[in-house]
Chains A and B, each alone.
Chain A
Amino acid sequence: MSESANSSASDEALVQAARGGDMTAFEEIVARHRDKIYARAYTMMRNEEDAVDLSQEAWVKAWQRLSQFQGESSVATWVTRIVINLCLDQLRRQKRHRAESIEEMNEESGGVERQMPAVEVNPTERLERAELRERIDQALAQLTYAHRTVLVLHEFQGMEYKEIARTMDCSIGTVMSRLFYARRKMAVLLADLKSENEADAK
């Protein structure tokens, strides 16, 4: 397929061509969806370099496994699953080398956030999109990898509890606890960031 033909072809047609060994068709798929794949990796890894490396690795694996892609989802969703698994593997490797923090141990048994009354959070109020993104980014960075992962898989990937449990190799109960903790922590962090900003503005 020529470059101009590639740019107007559907994802399905490009996948078909790539399966036949057409590297330029695959390049077009990468160009179309690289931001999304990178974004998912970055949200999980919180590190630009790792996210770039893992997203590239995901594309290489996608090329190798094209024959296994049956079109049951979009190609972007399929490659996103690949990058998520790569990120999880990397995070597990990193966790083995990292001492468990007190916070991590506290999370499993339920932190203070679990007992707090509900926070009045409307973080989108009067916020520019970029500012909201930055706040959420900061808040996500303060979660542990386990809590951030379950939040990413549920909120961004739209996975159900049992699917998350399978992916993270834990029980559904653990998924629910971690998700609840992560959400409450995010709510507190976003509310704190909002009041800090309001105080600074005054």
Chain B
Amino acid sequence: MNEELQLKLQAYCDGELAGHNAGEVEAWLAKDPDARALLAELQNTRAALRQFGDDLTLPAPRDFYWSKIQREIRRQENRRTDELPVPWLAALRRFLMPAGAVAAALLGVFLVGEQLRQNDPSRAADMEVAFSDSDTFTYRDFSSGTTLVWLSYPAEIEFAEPDPGDILD
């Protein structure tokens, strides 16, 4: 029995063989006892594995396991907030995050009120802040036509000059 036939038999066993190929394997099974034995072996091994399944219990008490997850979530949220480029935006994000809808929205757009008025009342209505997923936010100043998109792209970016002829294909 060559390798190609063996793999076809496996695909047949897994329901991954389409149309006439399945018919071909069935015809082969009908006349070859070795093929039938191999199929039985594959099926039995599969049955044994599926019985094994996910029957394992976490070897740690619930509270202990959860407290580490909770601590890490909070630590990462604080780090992300600290990395924001505008100090008042960090406070705004803390204000908005518990509301949840911001983090969940595909692109929520907020006209920023009080927070901005405290900085520059005349410009409050010109600004637009949007938090998309937890890794990006967009900030637009309409009066100057400037849009900032802040990314959590890794900070190891290097500032070496590109090669000459830098229009890439």
Q: Report A's interface with B, CB cutoff 8 A.
A: 19-23, 27, 30-31, 34-36, 38-40, 42-43, 48, 52, 55-57, 59-60, 63-68, 110, 114, 117-124, 129, 132-133, 136-137, 151, 154-156, 160-161, 176-177, 179-180, 183-184, 186-187, 190
Query: Across the interface, which residues of B come within 8 angstroms of A34, CB to CB?
Result: 58, 62, 65
Look across to chain B and name the residue whose beta carbon is closest to the beta carbon of A37: B58
Max chain A Cβ within 10 angstroms of own Cβ: one of B52, B55, B99: B52
Q: Could you list 25 examples of A-B contacts with CB < 8 Å?
A: A21-B103, A34-B62, A35-B56, A39-B55, A39-B56, A42-B56, A52-B60, A55-B58, A56-B68, A60-B73, A63-B73, A64-B134, A117-B34, A118-B34, A118-B38, A118-B41, A119-B41, A121-B41, A121-B48, A132-B51, A132-B52, A136-B49, A161-B16, A177-B7, A187-B44
Look across to chain A and name the residue whose beta carbon is closest to the beta carbon of B6: A180
Query: Across the interface, which residues of B come within 8 angstroms of A186, CB to CB?
Result: 45, 48-49
Q: Are A67 and B57 in contact (CB under 8 A)?
A: no
For this complex, into which size category does the number of interface residues on chain B fall? Answer: 35 or more
Q: Tell me the complex Cα distance, A38–B59, Å.
A: 9
Given contacts A67-B104, A154-B14, contact A35 B58 (CB under 8 A): yes
Which of A20, A122, A183 lies in contact with B100, CB distance below 8 A?
Answer: A20
Q: Are B97 and A21 in contact (CB under 8 A)?
A: yes
Query: Across the interface, which residues of B come within 8 angstroms of A117, CB to CB?
Result: 34, 37
Q: Report B's interface with A, CB cutoff 8 A.
A: 3, 6-7, 10-11, 14, 16, 34, 37-38, 40-42, 44-60, 62, 65-66, 68-70, 72-73, 76, 97-101, 103-106, 133-134
Q: Tell me the complex Cα distance, A35–B55, Å.
A: 8
Q: Tell me the complex Cα distance, A1–B47, Å.
A: 41
Query: Across the interface, which residues of A come within 8 angstroms of B46, CB to CB?
Result: 155, 183
Inter-chain pairs besides A60-B73, A68-B133, A137-B52, 9 sampled, C-beta below 8 Å:
A20-B99, A20-B100, A56-B72, A60-B69, A66-B103, A67-B105, A161-B11, A186-B48, A186-B49
Q: Tell me the complex Cα distance, A60–B99, Å.
A: 19
Q: Are A60 and B101 in contact (CB under 8 A)?
A: no
Query: Across the interface, which residues of B come within 8 angstroms of A31, CB to CB?
Result: 62, 66
Query: Across the interface, which residues of B come within 8 angstroms of A19, CB to CB?
Result: 100, 103-104
